[in-house]
Amino acid sequence: MEITAKTAAQLRITEEEFELIKERLGRTPNFTELCAFSGMWSEHCSYKNSIKWLKTLPRDGSKMLVKAGEENAGLMDIGDGYGVVFKIESHNHPSAIEPFQGAATGVGGIHRDIFTMGARPIASLNSLRFGKLEEAKTQHLLAGVVHGISHYGNCFGVPTVGGEVYFEQKYHTNPLVNAMSVGIVKNGETVSATAKGIGNPVFFVGSATGKDGIGGASFASADITAESAEELPAVQVGDPFQEKKLLEACLEVLQTGAVVGMQDMGAAGIICSTSEMSAKGEVGMRIDLEKVPTRQKNMKAWELLLSESQERMLMVVEKGKEKEVLDVFEKWDLPCSEIGEVTGDGILRFYMHGVLEAELPAYDLVLGGGAPQYSRNYIQPDYFSKIEAFNANSIEVPDDLRAVAEKLVTIPNIASKKAVYVQYDSMVGTGNASTNQPSDAAIVIAKPTNKGLALTTDCNSRYVFANPYKGAMIAVAEAARNIVCSGGAPLGITNCLNFGNPYDPQVYYQFVEAIKGMGEACRRFDTPVTGGNVSFYNQNPDGPVYPTPTIGMVGVLEHVNDKMTLDFKHAGDTIYLIGKSSGDINSSEYLHKIQGVEFSPAPQFDLETEFMLQEKVAALIKARVIESAHDVSEGGLFTALLESGFNRNLGVDVVATDYNIRKDGYWFGEAQSRVVVSVRSNKEEAFKRAMGIHPFEELGVVTTGSVEIDGMEWGHIEAWKALYDNAIQNIISGQESGHALSAL
Amino acid sequence: MKFGVVVFPGSNCDRDMQEALQNDLKQEVVMLWHKDKDLSRFTTNDCIILPGGFSYGDYLRCGAIARFSPMMQSVIDFANSGGKVLGVCNGFQILCESHLLPGVLLRNANQQFICKNVYLKGVGGADKALKIPIAHGEGRYFADEATLNELEANNQVIYRYCDEKGQITAAANPNGAIRNIAGICNKNRNVFGMMPHPERACTSALGNIDGRIILKTLIMQPQPAFV
């Protein structure tokens, strides 16, 4: 078979890249070798269109135990001799065409990234985006994705403790499925994804290899089109039971001290793990592909190299200690085969029954090595003019604010996601301290220490759409605010950057500006970016998704019992708003969903104001002068007040004191940097003293259940809770949810 | 007395059970590997626990394969000779598959996995409804009328789903279990099975310790106190 630029194009390798490959090899690659480049130089594995900008993010910090991007996930010090390992990753493309397996293997993949470093996963989160919930296609995707996450995560035995779900038309064809895993490891017990020691045997462990997921990495590096469903074989199939055994066996085998290096097989399978481990250790490998256990007969070399069959690991073992390793996998009934050895010349040689099928320098294949890095052009998107043209004064303040509020709390982006999260095992591991005592971030005990981890994923992508720079800063700020309101100190982030096609300069503008904003916010909060994932090509013939740079943030509590909760505790407590009240309606759910305005600026946000707010909230919690803290986000102040009351069926009696502020903005606007707190009467003085000159205002009091707004009777908290809790299920089952609250 | 917790390859509540018994209830716990058979260090005063999880993946009927594991053969003998056995969630499914307890556990009525706090009325819950988490896809207890009547007649229903106030209602039934049954025991009162997870409600840091009441009254006393 003659290999030409046309062959390369079929493998999604550009002409320019094909020339570069020939130059690097000094010859024309054969088909198997070209396949290896196709996988490794795909956007998904090489970050070729993003890495230059990613390097501008703050990636250093005193608590970072490995450098960003150096290992499979970020590793940070939490004290007491333990580290937290965390990462978020997308599985958008597979989930678009096969939601169940797409989401399931997304969960499996991210957990493997954690335990391949020697850490035990203790919590997972996810960030999901779908089209409008009313659409049948959305309901199909939602059901499949949630079932997939639930199926895999529940069986694997790691609690799903948090996350977010948004529904917007822009995600109709391209849903986003981002999964995050968080693990704990004792300092010094981590293992590196590095191959070392010439002559050391290379082991392949876990599931047998099949033809599933071949080309997955390159499939994820293209737009979704009408023909995408034909790429179904590019979607992998997950087996959580196998992964559970793999987890236990891998953690057990590390205790033997026989393992030199280990890496999971995700995107681009064997070729990715062998090349990355070799390049990092500046060694090569000889691999006998016929020794790889397969579940299908007659698999070709290129299929074996690119298969993305799940639940597999590549392991370099110290020569002479093979038996110790084999015994552990025997105990767990997992296949474990020696498939090759480490060599000294930096070349990967893949043999099939003694015939050399591919001979490739490891360095040339990998990110940071020979993989191309591009600078792309970017220009300000055309739609910005529509955003600039928006004038809030063109929106009249509605007369019946209560009717607006009743609609608002049933908007799926605001309403309770109970219909979703009840399907996830959120309590296995007995470490989720938020089940019975909710906080803005999920609080998980970092066993065996008594510390708490505060975990959250955040991104309001409509804010990012409106202003990529500011929107990305807000995403970081909100994550940090959630952690601070829960009593934690922000430690670091992982990001999942979901954007459209990077070759579209207007999309790339969103990417560049979002990175700049994220970097600035991360520097201010001292939360380095420990790693993450870029997912481009979330685009279809109708256009790209909203730019969605999801932030997964981890914070630490010195003791898990130091946590602050979001719910009002007693009737009679005073309710305060920390921060300044505002009439800003820009980019709010109210403006977008109820007033129907697609283009408006991002909500009010100032990084310094936000930072001061968080410092203040942290001080209030430390001084033990507040009973609850809940940040104001989607749905505005009114929604934040309701959410604070739901857990104990307590209501509010609150009044907007400033009559110069438009009422719809006051109650439903989403201006940033605001937190609702409640204070016991005997702590009022201490509270006010602690506030000092920081802006705050008294809103009213917690009631035994009645909701009174501006002196008007707005019904009982239980009725609002019913609206809020049942809205999503009602839409799915086709029932009207907007029935009159007063009738309840 | 001491406790043995069986570890199947897909068990994922084994450590939770171990921690609840060791740390919260200060009991001696021995972990038992599914491939082993030896229970010689246990007497009939002790208790063997089958924890929650997905024993062998449960791609077939839940617990159907676990029933044939080497350790289960010993557990069945242990139960038949009067030793205490408690199965939680997947453990309950395994006990039914092993015919140590009557009935079956079907897919939840809504066909979905459900994880949330529920309230239970039963052993140890005379004074108040016990708040205990559930987490299962196949927890809808079912048996034929004759079996159910026999269970009731012998006072073998140890837990029923109820509301916060202790009322046994259809709305408080999370999975469609017949007669709101959440847990049962055998006729000899030494084998117990329940879908809810008491071990998830034992640590004070989690804000709910009702599970301690269940473990204490059900298996830590020589004779379980029955309501």
Q: What ranges do the domains of chain B cover?
A: 2-219
The pLDDT value recorded for residue A221 is 65
The pLDDT value recorded for residue A54 is 94
Structure-block tokens of residue A702: 């917690």
Q: Do B115 and A423 touch (CB under 8 A)?
A: yes
- The one-digit pLDDT tens for each residue of chain B (227 residues) are 999 999 999 999 999 999 999 999 999 999 999 999 999 999 999 999 999 999 999 988 999 999 999 999 999 999 999 999 999 999 999 999 999 999 999 999 999 999 999 999 998 888 899 999 999 999 999 999 999 999 999 999 999 999 999 999 999 999 999 999 999 999 999 999 999 999 999 999 999 999 999 999 988 887 655 54
Show the beta-strand stretches assigned E in A322-427: 336-343, 347-352, 355-361
The pLDDT value recorded for residue A657 is 81
Catalytic residue among B13, B47, B62, B197: B197
Distance CA B120, CA A161 (A): 24
The pLDDT value recorded for residue A552 is 98
* Cα A335-A339-A341 angle, rounded to 5 deg: 135
Residue appearing with tokens 């970017």: A378
Distance CA A495, CA A522 (A): 11
For residue A559, which phi and psi values (nearest 5 degrees)? -135, 140
All residues at 6 or more sequence positions from A62 whose CB lies less than 8 Å from its CB, including other chains: none
Q: Does B197 qualify as catalytic in the annotation?
A: yes
pLDDT tens per residue across span B105-141: 999 999 999 999 999 999 888 889 999 999 999 999 9
Q: Do B9 and A240 touch (CB under 8 A)?
A: no
Residues of B whose CB is below 8 A from A437: 207
* Cα A599-A602-A607 angle, rounded to 5 deg: 170
Taking the Cβ of residue B112 and every Cβ of chain A, the question of whether any pair is shorter than 8 Å is answered with yes
Among B13, B137, B206, beta carbon nearest to A436: B206
Show the beta-strand stretches assigned E in A225-354: 259-264, 284-288, 312-317, 336-343, 347-352
Which positions of chain A have pLDDT values less than 70? 216-222, 224-234, 735-744
The pLDDT value recorded for residue A112 is 94
Q: Does B199 qualify as catalytic in the annotation?
A: yes
Cis preceding linkage at A505, omega within 30: no
The pLDDT value recorded for residue A737 is 46
The pLDDT value recorded for residue A224 is 64
| Residue range B2-219 in CATH 3.40.50.300 | no
Taking the Cβ of residue B14 and every Cβ of chain A, the question of whether any pair is shorter than 8 Å is answered with no
Residue type at position A589: E
Among A150, A151, A157, beta carbon nearest to B12: A157
The burial of A431, by beta-carbon neighbours within 10 Å (0-12 exposed, 13-18 middle, 19 or more buried), is given as buried
For residue A565, which phi and psi values (nearest 5 degrees)? -105, 165
Q: Do A429 and B59 touch (CB under 8 A)?
A: no
First vs last Cα of chain B: how many Å apart? 24
Please enumerate residues of A whose Cβ is less than 8 A from a Cβ of B: 147, 150-151, 154-157, 239-242, 244-245, 248, 331-333, 422-430, 432-433, 435-437, 445, 560-561
Q: Do A245 and B12 touch (CB under 8 A)?
A: no
Task: Provide the shortest C-alpha distance from residue B153 to chain A (in Å).
Answer: 35
Top CATH class of A191-371 equals: alpha beta
Distance CA A406, CA A668 (A): 11
Q: What is the CATH number of domain A419-424+564-736?
A: 3.90.650.10
Residue ranges of chain A assigned to CATH 3.90.650.10: 191-371, 419-424+564-736
Q: Are residues A130 and A99 in contact, defined by beta-carbon separation less than 8 angstroms?
A: no
Q: Spell out a b/e string for A362-391, using b for 16 or more CB atoms within 10 Å of the CB, else e.
A: bbbbbbebbbeeeebebeebeebeebeebe
- Among A262, A277, A266, smallest CA distance to A315 is for A262
Among A147, A424, A428, beta carbon nearest to B12: A428
- Among A538, A520, A503, A381, smallest CA distance to A48 is for A503
- The answer to whether the pTM exceeds 0.90 is yes
Instruction: Say what the ipTM of the complex is.
Output: 0.96
All residues at 6 or more sequence positions from A587 whose CB lies less than 8 Å from its CB, including other chains: A460, A462, A463, A466, A600, A601, A602, A603, A670
| Distant-in-sequence contacts of A398-403, Cβ < 8 A, 24+ apart | A398/A664, A401/A663, A401/A664, A401/A667, A401/A709, A402/A709, A402/A712, A402/A714, A402/A741
The pLDDT value recorded for residue A90 is 96
The burial of B168, by beta-carbon neighbours within 10 Å (0-12 exposed, 13-18 middle, 19 or more buried), is given as middle
Q: Are residues A577 and A674 in contact, defined by beta-carbon separation less than 8 angstroms?
A: yes
CB pairs under 8 A between A and B: 92
For residue A86, which phi and psi values (nearest 5 degrees)? -150, 155
Distance CA A548, CA A533 (A): 12
Distance CA A166, CA A104 (A): 19
